[in-house]
């Protein structure tokens, strides 16, 4: 039987997770997207009804600050794992994706890589506190990883 306290507690947990997700997404936009698009994309991400306006652009995203990224041309898994190794005991990552099954999910790193690399769906995999971001767009030559900060 649900009590008022358990319902309220569940709502708080859901709200906290949503707030945390939005904070991570805000950091990704502010750190890795061209400044002229910040307000527009943050507005889209705050509302589930407009979120798709942002995520549908991810397959051909043109608003990355490319100077903050290095192109990944081979062995994506090794490059990603090497890049995030300095973050410490990072086991999970957060996804922003045009794939609705992955969007707004926190997954273990191996699962996220398995469900993202090579699938041709625009996705940001966010590591740590948006310290490192891997971006994969549609096509085999559209993979980028952020430079160390």
- pLDDT tens sequence across 26-49: 999 999 999 999 999 999 999 989
Beta strands in 11-140 (DSSP E): 69-71, 92-97, 105-108, 123-127, 132-136
Residue 17 has pLDDT above 90, yes or no: no
CA dihedral 74, 76, 78, 81 (to 10 degrees): 150
Domain boundaries, the chain: 4-146
Identify the residue with better confidence: 97 or 2.
97
CB 132 within 8 A of CB 145: yes
DSSP lists the bridge partners of residue 64 as 33
What pTM value is reported for the model? Answer: 0.86
Helix (H, G, I), strand (E, B), or coil: what is residue 78? helix
Q: Is the pLDDT of residue 5 over 70?
A: no
């Amino acid at each position: 039987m649900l009590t008022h306290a358990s319902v309220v507690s569940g709502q708080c947990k859901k709200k906290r997770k949503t707030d945390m997700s939005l904070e991570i997404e805000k950091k990704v936009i502010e750190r890795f997207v061209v400044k002229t698009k910040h307000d527009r994309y943050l507005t889209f991400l705050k509302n589930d009804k407009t979120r798709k306006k942002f995520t549908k652009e991810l397959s051909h995203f043109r608003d990355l600050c490319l100077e903050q990224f290095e192109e990944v041309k081979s062995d994506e898994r090794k490059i990603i794992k090497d890049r995030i190794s300095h973050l410490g005991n990072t086991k999970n990552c957060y996804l922003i994706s045009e794939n609705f099954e992955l969007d707004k999910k926190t997954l273990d790193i191996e699962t996220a890589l398995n469900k993202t690399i090579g699938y041709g769906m625009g996705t940001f995999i966010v590591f740590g506190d948006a310290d490192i971001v891997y971006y994969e767009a549609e096509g085999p030559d559209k993979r980028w990883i952020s430079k160390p900060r």
